């Protein structure tokens, strides 16, 4: 991939990096197109088991939409495919992690929110800042599933930034680390996930989101359907056999 978004694979982990630090990694059309291309590449890449979304520089993960570009185009309602939104306008079955290296405002908050896990540098900050510039954030509908509704309301109505440690307390962030350790820490987390039985990992992700979509009784029933093929797989026999034989499992993904 060329342009302001790069994709690479390291030990089974796909890294999708926004590389526009001079504009705080804002979401220009070139960046948005690069994200679409990168996510589709990851989905089709059997060598990559986990995706990490990050950005270059020490100041910003993504400051949101490119306001200069929006002014020039007089953007009103963004089209449904304006920006990749995992689970909404593009399916990403494999696990995703945001490695947040700085400011994650507006569309940057969106990108972090819609990853499955978030690792943040100690100086990172998060905000749904649209109310401060008269824009909208319909993509924030899942926020009150991630944090208690009153906290979601405060984040949405004030637009005030939340620092990394507070974001971790609220449940928006899994780990907070020094910027110098961000890549290694995230890579190690991703590798621990990638080392597990692939069918079980995919089913775990699908199961976790059921309670946001269905009443509990239906969620249980759907979870049984999701997990039955895992129980019936060769990997389900390989795990106990490897434990019995005191060896590392050799996952086949089937």
| DSSP, residue by residue, 9-72 | EETTEEEEEE--GGGTT-B-HHHHHHHHHHHHHHHH-TT-SEEEEEESSSSEEE--B-HHHHHH
pLDDT of 135: 81
| Longest alpha-carbon distance in the chain | 65
Contact 101, 31 (CB under 8 A): no
Structure tokens at 42: 């990851």
Closest CA to 66 of 110, 18, 32, 97: 32
φ, ψ for residue 135, nearest 5 deg: -100, -175
| Mean per-residue pLDDT pooled into runs of 10, the chain (254 residues) | 91 97 93 97 98 97 80 74 92 98 96 97 96 86 93 96 97 98 98 97 96 90 93 93 94 93
**CA contacts within 13 A on the Cβ side of 196:** 16
Enumerate the domain spans of the chain: 5-194, 198-244
Q: Which residues of 192-230 are buried (b: 16+ CB within 10 A; e: fewer)?
A: ebbebbbbbbbbbbeeeebeeeeeeeebeeebeebbeeb
Helix (H/G/I), strand (E/B), else coil: 155: helix
Structure tokens at 142: 């899942």
The pTM (predicted TM-score) of the whole model is: 0.93
Those residues with Cβ within 8 angstroms of residue 63's Cβ, 6 or more apart along the chain or in another chain:
23, 24, 25, 26, 103, 105, 106, 108
pLDDT of 80: 80
CA atoms 150, 156, 161, 166: torsion sign:
positive
Q: Which residue has the tokens 């019936």?
A: 232
Contact 60, 10 (CB under 8 A): no
pLDDT of 172: 96
Q: Using CA atoms of 128, 113, 61, 15 in order, give the dihedral in degrees to the nearest 10.
A: -160
φ, ψ for residue 84, nearest 5 deg: -60, 130
Question: In this structure, which CATH number among 3.65.10.10, 2.30.29.30, 3.30.70.360, 3.90.226.10 belongs to the domain 5-194?
Answer: 3.90.226.10
pLDDT of 72: 65
């Amino acid at each position: 991939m060329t342009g302001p978004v790069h994709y690479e694979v390291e030990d089974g982990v796909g890294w999708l990096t926004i590389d526009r630090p001079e504009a705080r990694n804002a979401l220009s059309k070139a960046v948005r197109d690069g994200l679409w291309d990168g996510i589709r590449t990851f989905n089709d890449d059997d060598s990559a088991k986990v995706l990490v979304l990050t950005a270059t520089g020490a100041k910003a993960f993504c400051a949101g939409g490119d306001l200069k570009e929006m002014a020039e185009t007089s953007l009103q309602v963004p089209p449904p495919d304006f920006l990749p939104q995992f689970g909404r306008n593009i399916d990403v079955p494999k696990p995703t992690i945001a490695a947040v290296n700085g400011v994650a405002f507006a569309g940057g908050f969106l990108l972090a929110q819609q990853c499955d896990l978030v690792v943040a540098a100690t100086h990172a900050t998060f905000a749904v800042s649209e109310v401060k510039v008269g824009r909208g954030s319909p993509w924030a509908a899942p926020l009150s599933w991630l944090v208690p509704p009153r906290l979601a309301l405060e984040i949405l109505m004030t637009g005030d930034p939340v620092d990394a440690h507070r974001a971790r307390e609220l449940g928006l962030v899994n780990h907070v680390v020094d910027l110098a350790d961000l890549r290694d820490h995230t890579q190690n987390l991703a590798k621990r996930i990638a080392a597990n039985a692939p069918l079980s990992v995919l089913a775990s992700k699908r199961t976790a989101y059921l309670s946001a979509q269905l009443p509990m009784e239906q969620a249980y029933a759907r979870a049984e359907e999701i997990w039955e093929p895992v129980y019936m797989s060769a990997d389900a026999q390989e795990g106990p056999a490897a434990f019995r034989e005191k060896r590392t499992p050799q996952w086949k993904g089937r």
